[in-house]
Amino acid sequence: MTSPPSPAPDLPSPADVVAASARVADHARRTPLLTSPVLDERVGGTVLVKPECLQIGGAFKFRGALNMLAQLEPAARARGVVAWSSGNHAQGVAAAARLLGMRATIVIPRDAPAIKVQNTRRLGAEVVLYDRYTEDREAIGLAIARARGATVVPPYDHPHIMAGQGTVALEMIEQNPHGSLDALLVPCGGGGLTAGCALALAGHSPGTRLYAVEPAGFDDTRRSLSSGRREIVSGDAHTICDALMAPSPGELTFAINRHALAGAFSVTDEQVFEAMAFAWRELKLVVEPGGAVALAALLSGQLDCRGQVIGVVLTGGNVDPALFAGMLARASA
């Protein structure tokens, strides 16, 4: 892996990930590293699975949200926060805001899985629904924030968010019983988790190769790595991975990822369904589509794992019950 460039003032550093780890340690779950003899045999290597589907809010997003909200001044906390999300960032922000006694308003697409909307409301946040194909979520969120003087909590393109998400990789490094980690695969939407993990690896495991994994059709990071500029997703692209539908890599995240990534993979919906079924059958975990893409890339043979120690992050478990039941029916057919 190539180390990221010297951080600019608006980019986080490996030290920021360490600071974030201390900041969230008392509240974020230290999710375990899991192994599976069946998975190891299938890929020919040693696979370490980080199940962030077991995190507060059901996804890794709580880490970044808490790291950002915890650093707000008292006056800003009193005015509350606004975020936009397909569901996992929503729940992360809502959970962090409730923990800190803050008001949270979340802009969520109407077609987001109902369980994500329900959980966000259950965590005490106000939910504002919008049409992802005809309305601009950022414009809606920014208007609310201006009217209330609230702080916007971006889903990925913010130094505190990236540093908080990077605690996933920092934990993996600390928990790894094998000492070295040859490669790490992470699901990638806007690139916040990927960038945070890149920083953690640069500071504590620089020999580890980092790969982003995206849904087919939303492979904007993969294409951006090839072109050297931030590519945009086609307007007619669709995927079951609702958590990974960012239209383009973030400006700040790509500034890190373009130098840090060893590569990027994309997976089809069918490969995602297989990975979800494998996680349920062999790991006894409920994983949502977007949370399963890194495992899907591994199971589909996109990375040569023979004789290597490979890390895989399962980023979330907030799957629509009907979709999950349909996946199980397909798997058992």
Q: Tell me which fold the domain 14-60+160-332 belongs to.
A: Rossmann fold (3.40.50)
Each residue's pLDDT tens digit, 133-161: 899 988 999 999 999 999 999 999 999 99
* Residue 116: per-residue pLDDT: 84
Positions of CATH 3.40.50.1100 in the chain: 14-60+160-332, 61-158
pTM of the full structure: 0.94
Are residues 312 and 326 in contact, defined by beta-carbon separation less than 8 angstroms?
no
In sequence order, the 6+-apart residues with CB closer than 8 A to the CB of 236 are none
The model's pLDDT over 241-265, given as tens digits with 9 standing for 90+, comes to: 999 999 999 999 999 999 999 999 9
Percentage of the chain surpassing pLDDT 70?
A: 97
Mean predicted confidence (pLDDT) in 168-189: 97
Q: What is the pLDDT of residue 4?
A: 41
pLDDT for residue 80 is more than 90:
yes
Tokens of 289: 């589509």
The average confidence (pLDDT) of the chain is: 94
Residue 90 to residue 153: CA distance in whole angstroms: 10
pLDDT beyond 70 at 5: no
Contacts of 54 (CB under 8 A, 6+ apart): 29, 31, 32, 285, 317
Nearest to 135 by CA among 117, 162, 108, 158: 108
**Per-residue confidence at 114, pLDDT binned at 50, 70, 90?**
confident
CATH architecture, domain 61-158: 3-Layer(aba) Sandwich (3.40)
Strand, helix or coil for residue 303: coil
